[in-house]
Chain A
């Protein structure tokens, strides 16, 4: 008992000293927490994302002195992709004036969605999280630019339609997915589109424990003989799936992954065996962009990055960087709208609803052709961004398609329905009127 008391007293003392050691942020800084996972089972994806996210802000600080004259203070908090640690990180950082959260984990995103309106800090889950959050009237505080999973799936299906003989009609699509919320999410869209587009689909769930033992799953694939395979995988599941596909001699150029199934880290262990495998992506590949050259010049070569020079420009690095670009553009929009340099989470929300990332702006910030233009709005929190398809040539990814816009007319009603369902389960849910 005494020990408990001492422990309690010690923890109170430590909690008290939080206040004294937390750096007092000056008037003109922008505090952005980064919930990273450089450890744990998904560190392979988490590390480059965190590096890209951090390096872009460091570059803005070094090159421009921050955004609109305010320096960016980035604080990383390690979640190890663990939802419980994610909550801990959120509680630890939100009091410092956090502008927005980018959790990079669906589990953590789901926990933060209800907290966002209460704490007045928006959540930007870039291309993951809850698809329904794209409906801005129902989710004023949550954003998933540049596209939701459902939009992405509709783009992939269009790609298949355009690139198979005789179109997608009458074809059989195999859908291999990680058997958790993330992997199951596109199923309602497949069910909706299968009769409309005239294809047949068959699902191949892969449990989290079977991620690296998919032999049985691929035996089923061989039995079902699908014309195309679509993967919703993550982490170690992707290289295993590609290896197994190669083993059963599945035509690799008819195997398409989503944007979490096509990073360098996923295919490098497979190497030449994965040649021809395709994946969706929305952030450019390589360093042939002025903004990335600036990152190399001001940050990586100056020794201010945790990333190796070779990793800059890879898929996940660029995705983290693109996330930082959206954040920075939203900060700029918020600064312009409010006239303040140091903005709050509430201002940031307005910024995330009003920034314009069109071709001209992309060129201005040195990312011409990096991604599809996004126009933010009150009602549309996903921006209905387009994706492109990239292909693995045995050692590197190459972009092989033009931008493919999503089938908004099909996806929107589904998103609306899901959003209504989410809100109906909540009491006193805060919505907004977008007119």
Chain B
């Protein structure tokens, strides 16, 4: 009923190969965008925007970056956290050097630095794959973490060893620093995520994206058919790191406000890999779903379990217990999901959608 396609005829190739071939999908996507841009900033309070939505968007962007590399090109990486760090440190150094420049320009540019570093650490992928590549990307993670501690120029010789986000403006509005309102920070994040998701989806369905997928499915066959692995693999590393770098800059500048090297450690690389696997490898929608489950669900459990249990029973749950419970629930969920639906939440949604298309008259 929701997805009745009767009467929707495609008369051109463009219409047939559109991103959202079904009319209802087109409508829904505009509704989601309207909710994202108008409803949420209007109704969300500072906690909802600052502690739930902004991190969700940041992690979504990082997950898209990793998914381009792992889901679409088949190159597993454990260096995501460090590539995010490259973006954050690059953005910090640039904005300190040129304080009057629009910060949004630097957030985008920081992705370029991250892309360069990503290409460099992607070079081994031309020779090795699978577990061996995992090891070299993990080496990139450790090397970059080391660099963030040992090169004091990166954090401007601060005694604290941390980068502190200064107040910066874009188009006359304060975007970063403590005075920036949660609404502005959220809208900037959302704009980045929407535009970059749109760009990624076009990239993936275009010539470059098809090359990536050919490499993923069978690299020797792809090579025989004229795909150059050098360009395909390194462009995947570049684009992936670009997305991670922008996500890292957004994370520090629009969410955390200050960061030490721990904000980019390998735990984050794993966290984002979990988001991609749980959401669905090779699916952009999966990045959103994965980030939502891994980030938003624990926040909800941590904040809602203690008051809920207290009202329903006489037991008092401390916030540390709630934290442990949320870890347990998320862990169990990952295991259960991967057993029941190894292709992730995106696949689950595809099944639901297929059912909805014939509902209520399955034949």
Contacts and interface: CB of A to CB of B under 8 A. Distances in A.
B260 A107 contact: yes
Given A7-B292, A426-B167, A87 B255 contact: yes
B299 A88 contact: yes
Interface string A405-430: 00000000000001001100111100
B289 A83 contact: no
A18 interface: yes
Interface string A106-124: 1100110111111100000
Contact of B164 (A110, A306, A427, A428): A110
Interface in B143-173: 149, 156, 158-162, 164-168
Contact of B161 (A11, A76, A181): A181
A208 B146 CA distance: 11
Given A107-B262, A118-B179, A184-B159, 10 more contacts: A1-B28, A3-B345, A15-B48, A76-B319, A84-B256, A91-B47, A118-B178, A306-B318, A426-B164, A426-B177
B160 A3 contact: no
Given A1-B25, A114-B177, A115-B257, A88 B46 contact: no
Interface in B34-87: 35, 40, 43-48, 50-52, 55
Nearest to B160: A181
B289 A92 contact: no
A3 B289 contact: yes
Contacts of B51: 87-88, 91-92
B304 interface: yes
B307 interface: yes
Interface string A65-86: 0000000000011101001110
A84 B255 CA distance: 9
B161 A180 contact: yes
Contact of B303 (A1, A36, A92, A306): A92
B300 A14 contact: yes
Contacts of B292: 4, 7
Contacts, number: 171
B320 A87 contact: no
Interface of B is mostly: helix
A110 B319 contact: no
Contacts of A107: 162, 258, 260, 262-263
Contact of B257 (A1, A2, A106, A114): A114
B160 A130 contact: yes
| Those 9 A-B pairs whose CB atoms lie nearest each other, nearest first | A181-B161, A38-B320, A114-B178, A15-B48, A78-B319, A78-B323, A91-B51, A110-B258, A88-B51
Contacts of B48: 11-12, 15
Given A91-B46, A95-B47, A114 B165 contact: yes
Contact of B323 (A3, A80, A185, A425): A80
Nearest to A81: B262
B15 to A, nearest CB: 20
A134 to B, nearest CB: 12
A276 B78 CA distance: 44
A110 B149 contact: no
Interface centre among B25, B177, B348, B352 (most CB of A within 10 A): B177
B302 A78 contact: yes
Contacts of A425: 96, 156, 164, 166
A426 B352 CA distance: 51
B162 A117 contact: no
A331 B288 CA distance: 45
A293 B166 CA distance: 47
B208 interface: no
Interface in B1-58: 2, 25, 28-29, 31-32, 35, 40, 43-48, 50-52, 55
A12 B161 contact: no
Contacts of B348: 3
B28 A131 contact: no
A421 B158 CA distance: 8
A84 B311 CA distance: 28
Nearest to A37: B320
B258 A111 contact: yes
A84 B318 contact: no
A83 B159 contact: no
Interface in A1-57: 1-5, 7-8, 11-12, 14-16, 18, 21, 36-39
A339 interface: no
A15 B46 contact: no
A80 B296 CA distance: 17
Interface in B306-331: 307, 311, 318-320, 322-324
A403 B319 CA distance: 38
B204 interface: no
21 contacts: A1-B28, A1-B349, A2-B353, A3-B345, A5-B28, A8-B35, A11-B300, A39-B323, A83-B262, A87-B50, A88-B299, A91-B46, A92-B47, A107-B260, A116-B178, A119-B178, A130-B160, A181-B161, A181-B260, A185-B159, A422-B158
B148 to A, nearest CB: 10
A179 B161 CA distance: 10
A12 B44 CA distance: 7
B212 to A, nearest CB: 24
Nearest to B179: A118
A166 interface: no
